Amino acid sequence: MLSYASGTSDVPLLGETIGANLERTVATHGDREALVDVAAGRRWTYAEFNVAVNEIARGLLARGTDKGDRVGIWAPNCAEWVITQYATAKIGAILVNVNPAYRTHELAYVVRQSGVRLLISAVRFKTSDYRGMIAEIGFTDTIFIGTPDWNDLIAAGRGLSLEERAASLAFDDPINIQYTSGTTGFPKGATLSHHNILNNGFFVGELVGYTEQDRICIPVPLYHCFGMVMGNLAATSHGACMVLPAQGFDPAASLRAVTQESCTSLYGVPTMFIAELGLPDFTTYDLSSLRTGIMAGSPCPVEVMKRVVAEMHMTEVAICYGMTETSPVSTMTRRDDGLDRRTETVGRVMPHLESKVVDPATGRPLPHGEAGELCTRGYSVMLGYWNQAEATAEAIDEARWMHTGDLATMDEHGYVNIVGRIKDLVIRGGENVYPREVEEFLYSHPDVSDVQVIGVPDQKYGEELMAWVVLRPGATPLTTEAVREFCKGKLAHYKVPRYVHVVEDFPMTVTGKVRKVEMRERAVEILDLHAAADIRNA
């Protein structure tokens, strides 16, 4: 049988805009809590949240914001970010998410490439002087959060009606541009519709069983799909509560929020859960209210997942897999999946979507169990990259399949396992090595807290394996010889890392993805592999 699966469901897709869906939730759950900004000590019921959203929506109308105009949001996690997300949706403006870590060069590119007309921004965050950088690139139409600008915007819209604008909107309209962090060149703006992200958030919520009783702790960035779709839209489409523990990720703040707000669900990329589990006072937090959550963003180590289930009470935790271009989730584990499924796979295809694993060279589906490129198709596939038709055509084929660039296998039951990136595949002396397999094995070492495996240049074999290792607290220093001895007899010789590099952390994107390209560049310097790196291959 071929590696193809389609997601059937008795629950239909939502055929409405984000604003209309929010109004339905408010009508049913108006007195329930919708949003808690823990760091700021503020909270809103659904009725109060809708008032706040409508105030900003009317203010944007008063500023002359038309349907389809791009409105940028540049801020860390805060209530105003969430309010802006829904306010722009209600008037059909396209929200442009700006990475909080960007500097002037990146900011200027995104503002110019998307054609941002109005920017809603924090004044500053950590070491970033947003006001100064905005002035430096010469952008003038900005509303600064936490200043009189916000109240002035509300005042400007008093007395205006949203009804006429709402009636002009369609659920297939573009509503969001998210810039993907490409490994080369400038990022591309994945353009997403109401239909894309509302349904993806809704079905993520369905599969973890959200109701109005749930309270979701969201320490992941709102500017990314993980926060604004899997977090916010999953919550508001079910009447659940969004809990923002801090402006940026803080492991202690996250667990404090779970304890104080009795959260039932906690989100994070693997490195976040590792940090939380590693807190010296981890056992003092009351996490008994948790039942579920989502681990996603990068491959999830089996041993970490087992600890999350056992020690954080997250017995129904789900693994999600996807990408910004697919709104984002394509496959997901289910609540009734056994621990093996929820630790060794990224689940099955989502409802109303299709998945297949193909030979990257021919595009033909492969038999079950064979590794190839994972492709996905359905309502979640983006409209395209903003003003980049050629890049869109490279990613989405004529049959509307999104090519993920990820190497995966699919078993006879439709469960998918991600074995690496096509570009991350290491070819050592003609042998294909999937770093994920080696990483999973090294996680079983008692002194290893986190590990990433990369290919580095080698004059003899073309590439060799290098393991970057984060040690557990109190662990003895780990040598290359000790790691090789640990692998001996358990991994094929060509899968055993030649080099081991102990670090305190990995170079990361803000969304928690490890920057292996940067690690390879640094490895050449660390190991003095310039001669091998300079060898040109056919």
| DSSP assignment of 212-256 | TT-EEE--S-TTSHHHIIIIIIHHHTTT-EEEE--SS--HHHHHH
Number of independent structural domains in the chain: 2
Is residue 142 pLDDT above 90, yes or no?
yes
Q: Residue 246 falls within a domain, yes or no?
A: no
Instruction: Please determine, for residue 517, whether its predicted confidence score (pLDDT) is greater than 90.
Output: no
Q: How confident is the model at residue 343 (pLDDT cuts 50, 70, 90)?
A: confident
Higher pLDDT, 183 or 32: 32
Give the residue-averaged pLDDT of 187-206: 97
Alpha carbon distance, N-terminus to C-terminus of the chain? 36
- Judged by DSSP in three states, 515 sits in coil
pTM: 0.86
Q: Name which of 20-29, 46-55, 241-250, 510-519 the model is least confident about.
A: 510-519
Q: Does the pLDDT of residue 374 top 90, yes or no?
A: yes
Predicted pLDDT of residue 433: 82
Residue 535: band (very low, low, confident or very high) from pLDDT cuts 50, 70, 90: low
Domain that holds residue 469: 424-533
- Contact assessment for residue 321 and residue 407, using Cβ atoms and an 8 Å cutoff: no
CA 170 from chain center: how many Å?
26
pLDDT score of 510: 64
Q: What's the pLDDT band for 183 if we cut at 50, 70, 90?
A: very low
Q: Determine what percent of the chain is predicted with pLDDT higher than 90.
A: 81
Task: Give the pLDDT confidence score for residue 220 in this predicted structure.
Answer: 95
Question: Torsion angle of alpha carbons 247, 249, 254, 257, nearest 10°?
Answer: 0
Point out which residues pair with 456 in neighbouring strands.
464
User: What are the C-alpha distances in Å from 13 to residues 80, 167, 252, 352?
Assistant: 29, 20, 38, 8
Which of 141, 164, 187 finishes a domain?
A: 164
pLDDT at 462 over 70: yes
Where is the domain boundary, 164, 185, 203?
Answer: 164
Q: Over 80: is that where the pLDDT of 147 sits?
A: yes
Please check whether residue 76 lies inside any domain of the structure: yes
Query: Is 341 within the bounds of a domain?
Result: no
Q: What CATH code is carried by the domain that includes residue 481?
A: 3.30.300.30
Write down the pLDDT at residue 157: 98
Work out the pLDDT band at 182, boundaries 50, 70, 90: very low
Give the per-residue pLDDT at 124. 96
Q: Report the mean per-residue pLDDT for the chain.
A: 93
Say what the pLDDT of residue 187 is: 82
Domain CATH code at residue 123:
3.40.50.980
Q: pLDDT band at 38, cuts 50/70/90?
A: very high
Residue 255 within a domain? no
pLDDT for 435: 87
Q: What is the pLDDT of residues 298-318, one digit of tens each?
A: 667 778 888 999 999 999 999
Starting at the edge strand that comes first in sequence, how are the strands of the sheet with 416-421 ordered? 4-6, 353-358, 372-378, 402-410, 416-421
Nearest-10 crossing angle of helices 46-62, 79-91:
60
pLDDT, one tens digit per residue, over 3-36 is 999 999 999 999 999 999 999 999 999 999 999 9
Q: Residue 538: pLDDT above 50?
A: no
Residue 61 within any structural domain of the chain? yes
Per-residue confidence (pLDDT) for residue 463, from 0 to 100: 87
The model's pLDDT over 254-284, given as tens digits with 9 standing for 90+, comes to 999 999 999 999 999 888 998 999 999 999 9
- Determine contact, residues 163/16, Cβ cutoff 8 Å: no
CB neighbours of residue 11 within 10 Å: 10
Report the pLDDT value the prediction gives residue 491, as an integer from 0 to 100: 82
Whether 232 maps to a domain, the answer reads no
Q: Is residue 69 part of a domain?
A: yes
In a domain, 505, yes or no: yes
The DSSP symbol for 350 reads P
Average pLDDT over residues 399-416: 96
- Domain finish residue from 130, 148, 164: 164
Q: Where is pLDDT greater, at 509 or 107?
A: 107
Q: How confident is the model at residue 185 (pLDDT cuts 50, 70, 90)?
A: low
